[in-house]
Amino acid sequence: MNTLLRNFSFLLSLLCVSRSQAAQLPIILEAENARLFGDLKVEGVSGFSGNKYVHDFHINSDSYFLYENVEVDQAGTYEFKVFSTGTARPFYIKVNDYNRIVLRTKDSPDWNAPPTAVASTYIYLDAGVNIIKIGTEFENGPNVDKFEIHSTSNKIEKPEKVTVAFPYDFTDEAEITAEHTNKTLVYLTDKPVGGIK
């Protein structure tokens, strides 16, 4: 019985330690540890955080970084920092289903070598696990060393969620036509098709 109680206490202490470590601030998000989409590539260069950075943040290939497990204990405002190289470039930050925020980086002395330039903005995170997507905005993005999330005493309003549905069904007035008879055409609409034109 004592052994069982000791093992339970040990497991409980491990659970508490791992929970508190998950929410310690600042949260460091190495660029190379994100899920990378589009043309994004990792390059090893001494002097960067983790001795790596990510480049080819191209708008034409819809390049973006995705962090699917950013955990915080409390909902609210956090400072979001980017450590980048190159000329000042805009990019967006989208947290969960909230409207995105645009941040413009600062110029750094070199595109492919430290030191990095630091720019920051404020984001709203929900308590628990958050998904953060970082993508291009109007032009190619900067080279990125890392992102950081810090606590702050500043407050922003909780952003609105992105609307993905329209209050009006635009297909109600649509008419589907085809040059030839097609048995599957009737399945392309939510209303009965009287005849195929």
Expressed as residue numbers, the domain containing 138 is: 22-151
Q: What per-residue confidence (pLDDT) applies to 36?
A: 98
The reply to whether 105 falls in a domain is yes
Q: What per-residue confidence (pLDDT) applies to 197?
A: 47
The reply to whether 190 falls in a domain is no
Q: What per-residue confidence (pLDDT) applies to 14?
A: 46
State pTM to two decimals.
0.73
How many domains, in total, are found in the chain? 1
The reply to whether 29 falls in a domain is yes
Which whole number is the average pLDDT over 77-106?
Answer: 98
pLDDT per position as a tens digit, 174-196: 676 767 666 666 666 665 555 54
Which whole number is the average pLDDT over 141-149?
Answer: 98
Q: What per-residue confidence (pLDDT) applies to 15?
A: 47
Q: What per-residue confidence (pLDDT) applies to 100?
A: 95
Pair of tokens at residue 40: 């994004």
Instruction: 126-129: list long-range contacts, CB under 8 Å, 24+ apart.
Output: 126/72, 126/75, 126/95, 126/96, 127/72, 127/73, 127/74, 127/75, 128/71, 128/72, 129/69, 129/70, 129/71
What's the CATH number where 87 sits?
2.60.120.260
pLDDT above 90: percentage of residues in the chain: 70
Q: Quick one: pLDDT band at residue 164, thresholds 50, 70, 90?
A: confident
The reply to whether 197 falls in a domain is no
Q: What per-residue confidence (pLDDT) applies to 141?
A: 96
The reply to whether 192 falls in a domain is no
The reply to whether 141 falls in a domain is yes
The reply to whether 195 falls in a domain is no
> What stretch of H or E contains 12?
helix 2-22
Which residue matches tokens 């958050």?
130
pLDDT above 80 for 19? no
* Residue 64: exposure state from Cβ atoms within 10 A (0-12, 13-18, ≥19): buried
The reply to whether 182 falls in a domain is no
